[in-house]
Structures are given as C-alpha cells and as structure tokens.
Amino acid sequence: MSSSDAQPTIDYLNFITRELNRYIPLVFLVLGTIGNVLNILVFTRAALRKNPCSLYFISGSIVNFFSLYIGLITPFLGLYNLDPTQFNPILCKLRFYLRYSTITLSTWFILLACIDRYLSTSARVHIRDWSSLRMAKRLILLSTLIAFIFPYTQTFYCYNISSRGVCIQIDTKCKSLNDILLLCCNSGLPPIFMALISILTIKNVKHTQNLVTTHRRDSQLIRILLIQVTVLILFSIPVTMQKLYSTATAYVMKSTLTTAIDSLLNQISIEISYISNSITFYIYSLTSKKYRKEVRQLLLSPHRENRTNTVHPGE
C-alpha cells in the first residue's frame, strides 16, 4: 500500500488515538479520585490503620491518586494546546519522572502487601513476627526513597521537547532503556513475584486453617489483596506486551502506517494499565462485606465512630 493510499487509514488511526485521550482519562480520573479518597478515609480509621497490610493499602491509594493526575491530565490538556510540558523542558522531564516513579511505587506497595500477608499467615511464629507496623513503615519509607532516587533519574536526560513541540524521548536508546526499566520495575517482574507469593500465601492459609483466630484475622485482607493482584496482573499484560514489542522493534524502520498503529496500541495499553490505579476502591467494596459496612458508616456518620460496626481485620 502506497503512502497516499494509506493516508486515510493513518488519519483515522490518529483520530482514534486523540479521541481515546479526550474521553478515557476523564473517566479514570473521576473514578480514581472518588475511590482513592474513600480508600484513604476508610483505611485510616483507628481499627484498620493498626494492621500492616492496611498501611500498604493507604500508601498505595495515595500514590494512585497522584499517578492518575500526573499521567492523565497532561495528555488531555495537550489536545487543547494547554499542556505545560509541551512548552517547558523542566516540566517535560519532571512529568515523566514522577509518572514512572508513582506507578512503580503503587505496584511495589501491592507487592509488599503480598509479602506481608505471606508472613502473617506463616505457621512459624518467628516468621509471623516480621509482619508488623514497624516493619511496614520502614519498608514504605525505603521503597519510596528507592523509587524516587534510583530507577528513573535518566528521564531528566532522556526526555526533551521536540521541534514539533512534543515532550518525547530524545533517541531510540533512551526509549529502549525506559521500556526495560518499566518491565523490570513495574509491569513485568513485580506481577510475577505477586503471583508466586500469592500462591504461597494460599498454601499457608490452607495449612493454618485449624488456627481459627489467625485464619479469621487475615481472611478479609487476604481476599481483598488476592483479587487486587489478579486485576493488576490482567491489566498489566497489554502494557507488558507493548513494551516487549517496542523494545524488540526499536531499531526497525517503520512506515507511517505502522507508526500510527503502534501509537494507537500504545495508547490503549497505557490507558488499560491505569484501570488498576482507578478501581481499587470498587475492588475492595465488591470483595468485602465488612469493607462495605465501613464505607456506609463513614458516609452516613462521618463524625461519629460507631465501634460496633467498625471493620476489624480479624473478622
């Protein structure tokens, strides 16, 4: 197909990409803002915030809130030439640095929650002792420092404003490096570790079912966490496949039509990956009856602590 024959198809693909950027981010922002704020309010209640796993959920919800706005607002504004990252090189670099750091940190907090539930369900007391508020606070601080210091500082070199006024990677090497880092730190390896640790946690629960108190104490948070892990893995598959394809074809000469197709698929995979940042509240609500009770209590009596209806991790 000649370039002139392919131009209508290219224009149509570019149109679809723009329209996805116009409407989908707004949906995720509304759902994510409401959901993550409610998550923070629920898990910071006195009865829940004393559980290490709840601290990871709180931290994850805070990071999800920021990652949604950092990742989705600027592309939407760019449709109306209002994106400041297209005019200011510092904001251009800072946007991608914060975007990658926050989505990675969100994934790490879920991974840490998986590790905590594995430790808390162990039949060995000395292993269960590693599941504690003190350890959770230390790991949250350490992982935050690592996420903001180590993986993505190269964005300050790799991203700049092009001659077309677009904030993009300056060369193919930078693009490949970013894709590999995202695979290792976010969408590739962490979900694999989550799946393996979740399997081990399920085995722990089966082995300790005779310990009724321990089983009841962990069952609610384990159920919430396992479903969240499943959702994250499912929604990370498209962006993982896209990154693998992008890395494998980084030095392949592509036609304008192929570039337009790649751009559309990249846009779809990125927006799918943001689903897991937007719907955690709805996952928790569908998963746990006790969580729904706590939300109702929060909404109906926001200034009154009704302890008889409070969700306890041990229920």
Instruction: Give pLDDT tens digits for 250-259.
Output: 888 888 999 9
- Secondary structure (H, E, C), the chain: CCHHHHHHHHHHHHHHHHHHHHHHHHHHHHHHHHHHHHHHHHHCCCCCCCCHHHHHHHHHHHHHHHHHHHHHHHHHHHCCCCCHHHCCHHHHHHHHHHHHHHHHHHHHHHHHHHHHHHHHCCCCHHHHCCCCHHHHHHHHHHHHHHHHHCCCCCHHHHEEECCCCCEEECCHHHHHHHHHHHHHHHHCHHHHHHHHHHHHHHHHHHHCCCCHHHHHHHHHHHHHHHHHHHHHHHHHHHHHHHHHHHHHCCCCCCCHHHHHHHHHHHHHHHHHHCHHHHCHHHHHHHHCHHHHHHHHHHHHCCCCCCHHHCCCCCC
Residue 303: pLDDT over 60: no
Residue 224: pLDDT over 70: yes
Residue 3: pLDDT over 70: no
68-77 average pLDDT score: 89
- With cut-offs at 50, 70 and 90, classify the pLDDT of residue 221: confident
Q: Which residue has the tokens 């995979």?
A: 269
155-177 average pLDDT score: 89
- Least confident range from 36-40, 83-87, 303-307: namely 303-307
Residue 313: pLDDT over 90: no
- Least confident range from 74-88, 207-221, 253-267: namely 207-221
- With cut-offs at 50, 70 and 90, classify the pLDDT of residue 68: very high
Residue boundaries of the structural domains of the chain: 7-303
Query: What CA–CA distance (Å, rounded) separates 273 from 238?
Result: 8
Bridge pairing between strands 167-169 and 159-161: antiparallel
Query: What CA–CA distance (Å, rounded) separates 106 from 103?
Result: 5
- Least confident range from 165-174, 224-233, 297-306: namely 297-306
Residue 213: pLDDT over 60: no
| Average pLDDT of the chain, as a whole number | 86
Question: Percentage of the chain surpassing pLDDT 90?
Answer: 47
Q: Which residue has the higher pLDDT, 59 or 276?
A: 59
pLDDT for position 56: 95
For the domain made up of 7-303, the CATH class stated in words is mainly alpha
pLDDT for position 1: 56
Residue 138: pLDDT over 90: yes
Tell me the whole-structure pTM to 2 decimals. 0.88
Pair 48, 54: CB distance under 8 Å: yes
Query: What CA–CA distance (Å, rounded) separates 108 from 36?
Result: 17
pLDDT for position 310: 45
Instruction: Give pLDDT tens digits for 284-296.
Output: 888 888 788 888 8
pLDDT for position 314: 40
- Least confident range from 118-132, 266-280, 283-297: namely 283-297
Residue 105: pLDDT over 90: yes
160-168 average pLDDT score: 87
pLDDT for position 190: 94
Q: Which residue has the higher pLDDT, 182 or 310?
A: 182
Amino acid at 101: S
